[in-house]
């Protein structure tokens, strides 16, 4: 037990780099869509991550930082200007698919952030934005 506590305390000094790089652009969406994206997507898919307290406690912090870095690598709503117009269209459709199928937000995030759930009404709003219909 003592060894476990020593290891647990020791790993706290191995910092997971929590960053929020500069925002270069914002996703181009109506305010109602932007509100949904900020509520449900931005913590993992933007440079405006709200780092919760548990993101500062190793080894959980390592998982959270890795997850955010992976999410930003796949899609970053605050670097929208780096995505071509053609890819933006594809990404919007993929967002709709992921949300509709319940794959996003990911379940591990939903356990700690149930307010991030995308309701059926919000899915319809995202659908209209993604398809332009």
For residues 48-57, average pLDDT: 95
Distances (CA, A) of 79 to 12, 42, 72: 31, 12, 9
pLDDT at 127: 96
* Percent of the residues in the chain that have a pLDDT greater than 90, as a whole number: 86
For residues 2-19, average pLDDT: 79
Matching residue, tokens 């053609």: 86
Local confidence band at 9 (pLDDT 50, 70, 90 cut-offs): confident
pLDDT at 83: 95
Alpha helices in 14-112 (DSSP H): 31-40, 42-45, 60-74, 85-100, 107-112
Q: Where are the beta strands (DSSP E) in 16-108?
A: none
Name the domain count of the chain. Answer: 1
Range of the domain at 42: 2-131
For residues 86-101, average pLDDT: 95
The model's pTM is 0.90
**What residues have CB less than 8 Å from 86, skipping those under 6 apart?**
none
Matching residue, tokens 């109506």: 30
């Amino acid at each position: 037990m003592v060894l476990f506590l020593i290891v647990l305390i020791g790993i706290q000094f191995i910092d997971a780099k929590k960053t929020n790089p500069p925002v270069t652009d914002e996703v181009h969406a109506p305010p109602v869509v932007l509100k949904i994206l900020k509520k449900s997507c931005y913590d993992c898919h933007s440079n405006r991550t709200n780092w919760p307290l548990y993101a500062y406690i190793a080894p959980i912090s390592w998982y959270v930082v890795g997850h955010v870095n992976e999410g930003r690598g796949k899609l970053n709503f605050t670097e929208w200007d780096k995505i071509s117009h053609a890819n933006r269209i594809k990404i919007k459709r993929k967002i709709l698919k992921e949300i509709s199928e319940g794959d996003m937000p990911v379940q591990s995030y939903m356990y700690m952030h149930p307010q991030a759930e995308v309701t059926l009404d919000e899915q319809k709003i995202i659908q209209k934005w993604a398809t332009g219909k």
